[in-house]
C-alpha cells in the first residue's frame, strides 16, 4: 500500500503548539506515513528559527519527518498546495492535513484507512468527528452526519469542518486543482464542496481528533464579514448548478443570510432572504418567523422592518 502523507501547515504558531501536533502524528498506530511541515510564517517571525530547529531535531530522530519553509507568509491555501505538490509524486495514495494547533488521536489514520478499504474508487475523503480540547462538546455539534453524494447538502451547512478531520485521496484533490489560494476564509468548506461535486464523501462515526483554541485572538473569525464574502465566492463557483436546483439554492441563501446576521449586515441578510422568497415562497415562512424572533431579541429595527415586509409578501402584498 502507498504511504499516507500528513502535511502540517504553520503560520505564526509557537513551537510548543506545533510540537504537540507532531507528537500526535508520531503516535499514530498506522505507521506508514511521511510528515511534511510547511512553515508559512513571515520571514521575520520571532519563533521561526525555533520552529525550524525543533522540526529538524524531530527529523534527525525520525526520517519520515521533513521541514519545508516558504520565504514569506503566503497564507494557508498556498502552504497546503506546497504540501500537495510534494505528495503528488506517485508515492502517496492519501493525504491528511493537520492544523498545527490541533491533535490527532492515535488511531485516526488507521481507522480512516480501514474505512477507505470499504469504499469504491469514487470516494474522495473520509471524515470523522472530533472534540474540543476543553471537553465542552463535539467540535461540530450535528446529530446527523451525511455520507455518499452530499454535494447538495453541503450548501446548507458544512458538516465536515476543519482540515484536521478528513483523510483525502490524493488523486481526487489533484483533479479539482488543489486549494483555491484566493480564499481568505472558508478554504476547507470550498474544498469539500468542490470534491463533493465529483466524488462521494464517507464518514467514520468516531471522535478521532482534538480541536484546540489557544490562538483565538489570531483567528480569522474575528472578521466575520470575510466569511460572508468567501461564501458568496463559493456560491458564484457553483452558480450554474444552483440556478437549476431551487431547493438547494434556497437553503444556500439561508446559509448566507445567517452569516450576514453574524457579521451584522442586515441589508444583505434581507436581500438573501428576499431571493429565497422569490425562489420558493411557500417554503420560506418558517425561516422568516425565526428571523423575526432573532431581530426582536437582538433589537435590530432595520432587519425587523425588512422582515415585516417579507411577511407581508407572504400574504400576497408587494415588497417595495
pTM of the model: 0.87
Which ranges of 90-210 would DSSP assign to H, the alpha helix?
Answer: 108-116, 151-154, 170-175, 187-198
For 6-36, b where at least 16 C-beta lie within 10 A, e where not — what string? bbbbbbebbbebbbebbebbbebebeebbbb
Q: What is the CATH number of domain 3-220?
A: 3.90.550.10
Q: What is the pLDDT of residue 311?
A: 59
Map out the domains of the chain as residue ranges. 3-220, 239-314
Q: What is the pLDDT of residue 219?
A: 45
Q: What is the pLDDT of residue 132?
A: 82
Burial of 112 (0-12, 13-18, 19+ CB in 10 A): buried
List per-residue pLDDT tens for the chain, 320 residues long. 556 878 887 766 789 989 999 999 999 999 999 999 999 988 888 899 999 999 999 999 999 999 999 999 999 999 999 999 988 888 899 999 999 889 999 999 999 999 999 999 999 999 999 988 765 556 665 557 899 999 999 999 999 999 999 999 999 999 999 999 999 999 999 999 999 999 999 999 999 999 886 555 444 445 788 999 999 999 999 999 999 999 999 999 989 988 887 887 877 887 888 888 788 876 666 666 666 555 555 555 655 566 666 656 555 555 45
Q: What is the pLDDT of residue 218?
A: 45
Q: What is the CATH number of domain 239-314?
A: 1.25.40
What does the DSSP assignment read for 67-109?
EEE-SS---HHHHHHHHHHHHTTTTEEEEEE--TT-EE-TTHH
Q: What is the pLDDT of residue 139?
A: 65
* Contact (Cβ atoms closer than 8 angstroms) between residue 96 and residue 109: yes
Q: What is the pLDDT of residue 217?
A: 45
Amino acid at each position: 500500500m502507498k504511504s499516507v502523507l500528513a502535511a502540517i501547515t504553520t503560520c505564526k504558531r509557537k513551537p510548543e503548539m506545533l510540537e504537540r501536533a507532531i507528537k500526535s502524528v508520531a503516535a499514530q498506530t498506522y505507521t506508514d506515513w511521511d510528515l511534511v511541515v510547511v512553515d508559512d510564517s513571515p520571514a521575520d517571525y520571532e519563533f521561526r528559527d525555533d520552529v525550524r530547529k525543533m522540526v529538524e531535531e524531530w527529523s534527525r530522530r525520525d526520517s519520515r519527518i521533513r521541514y519545508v519553509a516558504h520565504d514569506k507568509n503566503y497564507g494557508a491555501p498556498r502552504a497546503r498546495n506546497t504540501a500537495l505538490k510534494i505528495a503528488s509524486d506517485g508515492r502517496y495514495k492519501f493525504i491528511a492535513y493537520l492544523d498545527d494547533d490541533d491533535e490527532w488521536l492515535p488511531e485516526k489514520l488507521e481507522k480512516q484507512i480501514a474505512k477507505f478499504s470499504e469504499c469504491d474508487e469514487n470516494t474522495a475523503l473520509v471524515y470523522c468527528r472530533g472534540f474540543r480540547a476543553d471537553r465542552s462538546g463535539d467540535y461540530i455539534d450535528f446529530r446527523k452526519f451525511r455520507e455518499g453524494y452530499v454535494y447538495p447538502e453541503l450548501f446548507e451547512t458544512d458538516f465536515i469542518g476543519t482540515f484536521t478531520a478528513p483523510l483525502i485521496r490524493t488523486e481526487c484533490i489533484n483533479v479539482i486543482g488543489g486549494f483555491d489560494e484566493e480564499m481568505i476564509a472558508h478554504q476547507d468548506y470550498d474544498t469539500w464542496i468542490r470534491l463533493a461535486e465529483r466524488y462521494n464523501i464517507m464518514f467514520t462515526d468516531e471522535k478521532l481528533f482534538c480541536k484546540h483554541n489557544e490562538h483565538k485572538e489570531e483567528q480569522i473569525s474575528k472578521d466575520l464579514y470575510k466569511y460572508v464574502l468567501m461564501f458568496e465566492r463559493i456560491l458564484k463557483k457553483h452558480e450554474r448548478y444552483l440556478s437549476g436546483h431551487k431547493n438547494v439554492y434556497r437553503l444556500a441563501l439561508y446559509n448566507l443570510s445567517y452569516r450576514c446576521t453574524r457579521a451584522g449586515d442586515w441589508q444583505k441578510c434581507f436581500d438573501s432572504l428576499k431571493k429565497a422568497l422569490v425562489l420558493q415562497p411557500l417554503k420560506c415562512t418558517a425561516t422568516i418567523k425565526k428571523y423575526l424572533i432573532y431581530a426582536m431579541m437582538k433589537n435590530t429595527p432595520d432587519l425587523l422592518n425588512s422582515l415585516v415586509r417579507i411577511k407581508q409578501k407572504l400574504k400576497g402584498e408587494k415588497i417595495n
